[in-house]
Structure 1
Amino acid sequence: MNQSKLKSFLDEKVLQYNTLDFVESDPVQIPHLFSQKEDIEIAGFLSATIAWGNRKMIIKNSHKMMDLMGNSPHDFVLSHTEDDLERLETFVHRTFNGQDFMGFIKGLQHIYKNHGGLEAVFAKHQESNSMQKSISEFKKTFFEIEHQNRTQKHISDPMNGSAAKRINMYLRWMCRQDNKGVDLGIWKSISPSLLSCPLDVHSGNVARKLGLLTRKQNDGKALAELDSKLRELDPNDPVKYDFALFGLGVFEGF
Structure 2
Amino acid sequence: MVNSKNLKTILDGLYAARSSRHLANDPLSFCHRYPDPADREIVGFIAAAFAYGNVKIILKNLEAVFAPMGPSPRRFVETFEPAGELRSYAGFKHRFNDHRDLCALLLAARTMLEEADSIGDYFLGCYDATAEDITPSLIEFTAALLAMDYTPVFGPAGIPADSYFPFFFPSPAAGSACKRLCMFLRWMVRPADGIDLGLWREVSPSKLVIPVDAHIQRIGRNLGLTFRRQADWRMAREITAALRKLDPADPVKYDFSLCHLGISEGCDGTVRPLCGECPVTTVCTERSS
Q: Shorter chain as normaliser: what TM range?
A: over 0.9
- Matched residues in 2 for 1:158 and 1:71: separation? 35
> Structure 1 residues 244 and 80 mapped into 2: Cα distance closer, same or farther (>3 Å)?
closer
TM-score by length of 2: 0.82
Alignment partner, residue 129 of structure 1: 132
Give the partner amino acid of 1:138: F
| Count of aligned pairs | 252
> Structure 1 residues 234 and 33 mapped into 2: Cα distance closer, same or farther (>3 Å)?
same
Alignment partner, residue 10 of structure 1: 11
What displacement does 1:152 show?
A: 1.3
Q: Percent identity?
A: 33
- Matched residues in 1 for 2:241 and 2:5: separation? 16
Are 1:233 and 2:241 counterparts? no
Pick from 125, 146, 158 the counterpart of residue 172 of structure 2: 158
Contiguous gaps of at least 5 residues in structure 2: 151-158, 270-289
What displacement does 1:60 show?
A: 1.5
- Matched residues in 2 for 1:134 and 1:121: separation? 11
User: What do the CA deviations read for 1:135-194 (whole angstroms, capped 9, x no partner)?
Assistant: 221222223333324211221111110110011111111111133x11111111111111
- Matched residues in 1 for 2:90 and 2:144: separation? 24
Contiguous gaps of at least 5 residues in structure 1: none
What displacement does 1:6 show?
A: 1.2
Alignment partner, residue 117 of structure 2: 116
Matches within 5 A, 1:174-213: 174-179=188-193, 181-213=194-226
Alignment partner, residue 223 of structure 1: 236
- Matched residues in 2 for 1:183 and 1:219: separation? 24
What displacement does 1:71 show?
A: 4.2
Check whether the contact 1:203–1:245 (CA below 8 A) recurs between aligned residues: yes
What displacement does 1:20 show?
A: 2.7
Alignment partner, residue 182 of structure 2: 168
Check whether the contact 1:205–1:249 (CA below 8 A) recurs between aligned residues: no
- Matched residues in 2 for 1:5 and 1:252: separation? 24
> Structure 1 residues 48 and 24 mapped into 2: Cα distance closer, same or farther (>3 Å)?
same
Alignment partner, residue 57 of structure 1: 57
Alignment partner, residue 104 of structure 2: 103
User: What do the CA deviations read for 1:85-109 (whole angstroms, capped 9, x no partner)?
Assistant: 4212221111111010111111111
- Matched residues in 2 for 1:108 and 1:94: separation? 21
Alignment partner, residue 75 of structure 1: 75
What displacement does 1:234 show?
A: 0.3
> Structure 1 residues 252 and 57 mapped into 2: Cα distance closer, same or farther (>3 Å)?
closer
What displacement does 1:13 show?
A: 1.3
TM-score by length of 1: 0.93
Give the partner amino acid of 1:42: I
- What is the root-mean-square deviation in Å for CA atoms of aligned residues? 1.7
Matches within 5 A, 1:8-47: 8-17=9-18, 19-47=19-47
SS in 1 for 2:229: coil
- Matched residues in 2 for 1:52 and 1:145: separation? 24
Alignment partner, residue 148 of structure 2: 145
